Homo-oligomer: A and B are copies of this chain.
């Protein structure tokens, strides 16, 4: 690239250079012409800005170069920054010079245009689709959600401990796992959750969390399932269910607060109704924190019975069953904030959940349901801390005792009450961005039918 004496800046920071001549390095995102004027829009990954190119004001070669340039050609642009209240970013660029780095061929133009494309086409070109403003905005919000999630735990004394991805057995039993050979005839499975492992690190370090990819080889093809997804999971020694719900509430509030602080512009590009997010962290009339509603399973069931009687849901909820998606949507629609449904029947929950001493048929667990029908975004529980009960549960669930011996050890050597939860990042991104499908929440989604690119 040729030398330049003007400062090289990003579009996101261009407001600091009003009235100055700067150089941007990016791509031609769009261009329209109006007689002797060109209006190219440039993008550089941090945002987009419109340029103005009057034929009379620039060398002829600059005008002709831009006029013939295909979209997504890479270029450096030099121009003067001008405030313009009509521009989405508040600024426009009076273009003085353009240097093309790599021109896209007119015979093979950029395949993603402003017209509508089918989902398969877009996913097949995901490496290029990512460049469009909506997809870039979603990825920026995703990154901030992940950062805010870590930050919440890091600033509260939690130690990040990474559980293994390659495991010798399934966390929650024999559901569908990705299996592979692991050297001399051993088998390994991709983890579904780091929970069991971070129970061990919690008993070593007190407060811990894990943050990594998890996998399910389920043959489900829904708008909420990926085969590969990221989970953040805290686990805390000496924490019981009520404290766990406090933790989940603080955690979600922190993430939503950060996204609203940092991504108003991105949420606008995505088309998100931010009022729905503001409601999550809305304070009471005197500025006090308003807790998320907490609803026992039994009370949620009564709520659904009433809703069915009033014709507000189509099918009755059977006591003892898990909630279906329409049930969750109805329950969450009754509140502006996420709802914490606790104490589900133990029979429909995982083997490691502590029974409620007040009613041992119930588990000391909580599911956090996102508003607007986005369903469960957090699932957590207090863990069984009795060696004998845990051993019994493992046997009852026909799990291989030998594989869980180390996990049982945690109840043999200084067992303590402890609790944790997991939040799937993609579902959180879908909810916070208001997306219909999780495939847009991650750079390269892995689904039943897709492993390319």
A positions within 8 Å CB-CB of B: 1, 10, 12, 25-28, 44-46, 72-74, 101-102, 104-105, 108, 110, 125, 127-128, 130-131, 135-136, 139-140, 143, 146-147, 150, 154, 157, 159-168, 178-183, 186, 188, 190, 197, 200-207, 212-213, 215, 217, 219, 227-228, 230, 237-238, 385, 403, 406-407, 409-417, 442-444, 446, 448-449, 451-453
Contact = CB atoms under 8 A, between A and B. Distances in A.
A105 B102 CA distance: 72
A183 B146 contact: no
Nearest to A239: B25
A143 B159 contact: yes
A228 B413 contact: no
Contacts of A213: 162, 165, 212-213
| A230, A403, A406 interface centre (most CB from chain B within 10 Å) | A406
A108 B412 contact: yes
Contact of A186 (B1, B27, B451): B451
A95 B315 CA distance: 60
A164 B426 CA distance: 13
B444 A197 contact: yes
Given A160-B146, A413-B128, A206 B166 contact: no
Copies in the complex: 2
B180 A443 contact: no
Given A130-B200, A213-B212, A10 B162 contact: no
Contact of A205 (B140, B407, B410): B140
Given A45-B159, A108-B412, 11 more contacts: A25-B237, A25-B416, A46-B157, A102-B414, A110-B413, A128-B200, A139-B205, A143-B161, A147-B150, A162-B443, A164-B228
A248 B237 CA distance: 38
A179 B182 contact: no
Contact of A203 (B131, B159, B416): B131
B166 A446 contact: yes
Contacts of A215: 165-166
Contact of A188 (B160, B219, B412, B451): B451
